[in-house]
Chains A and B, each alone.
Chain A
Amino acid sequence: MLNLQKHDKTLMIIVAVLVLFAPFILNPFPTGSAMAQFNAGYPDLMQRFVIFGIFAVGFNILFGLTGYLSFGHAAFLGVGSYSAVWMFKLLSMNVIPAILLSVVISGLFALLIGFVSLRRSGIYFSILTLAFAQMSFNLAYSVLTPITNGETGLQLTLDDPRILGVSATADGGIPVTSLFGLEMRSTYEMIVGPWTFQFNAGYYLCGIILLAAFYLSLRIFRSPFGMMLRAVKSNQTRLNYTGLNPKPYTLAAFVISGMYAGLAGGLMASMDPLAGAERMQWTASGEVVLMTILGGAGTLIGPVLGAGFIKYFENIFSKINDSILHSWFSFLPDGIEDAVVFLIHPFIGKGWHLTLGILFMLVVIFLPGGLVEGGQRIKKWVSGGKNKADDKAPKTEPAE
């Protein structure tokens, strides 16, 4: 039906199952139990998982296929968010026009930045994109205040001139984002025994868009265009002397990945209609690089896993504090309990970056192919006992 090979179909089904059943998968512990803080199945966080998944999938089309490492992709995310919020302010609270505009504007923005940055390759390309992103950040922060509302960030107000819709609701509040009347924040709670599962409209909208974005990236990976992008990464000299011009190929990849970032930014604003300059800062650009490498650059599913992994750590590890640690280790004698808590303390709460950094180093050193390589090794190890002869056969499978 989807015109995919068997291997890709499996991959597509895995992602679809993960997305659709995330409210169950991410909520394995009963509400109120000691482990409940490790639950990630609440709407806010699940939305972030899929939105950053889209961001990373798009980034991977550029970095994973062509090898051009952009350090400025957060600029497109920010531009997407601003576009979407302006659409909410001026046109309607429906998310569709907002998302469309954010994709278009970030695509145009990527065309401009890409055209200039792609004159250089390697580290110079990275520096150019970083410079553009920082310029965008500073412009949004100060000079362009009439458009971006500076350091306060762009928000909806009670006197927005909304053409299709009302400036304020009947009870004097700011209207909420919706999809043809279906409010993005509306959540259905399903209570099964001690568990509470939350199904949020906004999450499912983002989830379906992630599936579409993932499917598109799958098709790009398997297309002649995708092959040319891999050829750019492999040997530009040969590509030139084979009568192909690498520039339009890399520019097209840059614009496509910029549009993915804009889509992610637009969705972010659709879930929570505000946009701030900090979304464009270089740390945000670095984060998507980490996600892609951690998950596995150049693999299809890697960026989605990497995005989930990092967002989980950011939101769950950062919430653990000393008193929680004390309650976990209360079975130990007092002196030892304090010592253990003292040792773990730097790695939790605000120190979650330290944990993430160590994990990132371990992955890069021991699993250069990211989490996907880890998965493949486990698979090999599990099936290794059954058919050892297979290991010796030349590996011919294309990358996932």
Chain B
Amino acid sequence: MGILDVKDVGKRFGGLQALGNVNLSVAENSVHAIIGPNGAGKSTLLNCLVGKLVPDTGSVMFDGQSVLGRSPHEINQMGISRVFQTPEIFGDLTVMENMMIPVFAKRDGAFRMHAIENMMAERDIVETAEKMLVDMNMAEKRHMHAASMSRGDKRRLEIGMCLAQEPRLLLLDEPTAGMARADTNNTIDLLKQIKDERDITIAIIEHDMHVVFSLAERITVLAQGTPLVEDTPENIKGHPKVREAYLGEAA
């Protein structure tokens, strides 16, 4: 039993079987990568985990509780945070406000009507958010509008916002897509640091093999909606089935 258990999950869009019988178990405190060619169903699977999609069949258990039928914010409150392919942050707000929102969400839950209090007077929130900004190396950017930052900084902020909630499982959807090599390496270093310093499980969907082999302890290869193999990075590298899935039958 892992912290996340996916059993027999299937999802069909009209005539397309996007996922068929996916079984997957992510062990606690590990880094688990899910790779696969385009159209393999990686994003569909991820969307089934966070409540954006509801699978047609099967079950998804997080820490012994089913996540099916729950809305994204409820699943998040259970302890699953998601980082998006293109950074989803509050562009109109300052970096500091961006960081304060998840801290509020952690303390107050999905809704609380605190309409009269001054938000900067909430010392515990401000301190936690400030500490997180220091950890993320962006304390000097705290007054900037989040939308005006570089792609790499936005990604860093988004990861920081997810960590501020102290999630038990961090899901990353192609976190280095469209990034320059230097930014990619920075992100890898950041994720390594998070893995070393925190009590957290990371599941990562990625195209970039450099990222996958730098981070993952366990890899699942997905092709045409079903898991092909699940193994350690060393064994995956030379696996004939993986080569076949990526390069076609002729190879």
Contacts and interface: CB of A to CB of B under 8 A. Distances in A.
Interface stretch (B4-12, B111-119, B176-184, B191-199): B111-119
Interface stretch (B37-45, B58-66, B76-84, B214-222): B76-84
A98 B43 CA distance: 57
B169 interface: no
B88 interface: yes
A346 B24 CA distance: 73
Contact of B105 (A223, A243, A394): A243
B105 A224 contact: no
A231 interface: yes
Given A230-B93, A234-B93, A237-B88, A243 B165 contact: yes
Contacts of A244: 73, 101, 104-105, 110-111
**Interface secondary structure of A, over-half rule:** helix
A360 to B, nearest CB: 24
A242 B118 contact: no
A396 B140 CA distance: 12
Contacts of A248: 110-111
Contact of B88 (A224, A235, A252, A398): A235
Nearest to B115: A225
Contacts of B161: 238, 242
Chain A CB count within 10 A is highest, among B89, B106, B116, for B116
A234 B147 CA distance: 10
Given A240-B72, A242-B76, A243-B76, A224 B90 contact: no
B220 to A, nearest CB: 23
Contact of B90 (A231, A249, A252): A231
A243 B89 contact: no
A220 interface: yes
Interface string A360-384: 0000000000000000000000000
Contacts of A394: 143-144
B94 interface: yes
A395 to B, nearest CB: 8
A230 B122 CA distance: 18
A398 B161 CA distance: 21
Contact of A227 (B84, B97, B106, B165): B97
Interface in A213-262: 219-220, 222-228, 230-231, 233-235, 237-245, 248-249, 252, 256
Interface in A1-33: 3
B115 A219 contact: yes
A219 B116 contact: yes
Interface residues of B, number: 41
B100 interface: yes
B76 A241 contact: yes
A235 B91 contact: yes
A225 B114 contact: yes
Contacts of A230: 90, 92-93, 97
Contact of A243 (B84, B93, B106): B106
B100 A227 contact: yes
Given A238-B88, A241-B81, A226 B115 contact: yes
B50 interface: yes
Given A231-B90, A241-B50, A242-B165, A222 B105 contact: no
B124 to A, nearest CB: 12
A223 B119 contact: yes
Nearest to B77: A243
B102 interface: yes
A249 B111 contact: yes
Interface of B: 50, 71-73, 76-77, 81-82, 84, 88-94, 97, 100-102, 104-106, 109-120, 122, 125, 143-144, 161, 165
28 contacts: A222-B120, A224-B114, A224-B117, A225-B115, A226-B119, A227-B93, A227-B97, A227-B100, A227-B101, A228-B104, A233-B92, A234-B91, A235-B89, A240-B71, A240-B72, A241-B81, A241-B84, A241-B88, A242-B73, A242-B102, A242-B161, A243-B165, A244-B105, A245-B110, A252-B115, A256-B115, A394-B144, A396-B144
Q: Which 9 interchain pairs have the tightest Cβ spacing?
A: A243-B76, A396-B143, A225-B115, A234-B90, A245-B110, A234-B92, A248-B111, A238-B88, A243-B105
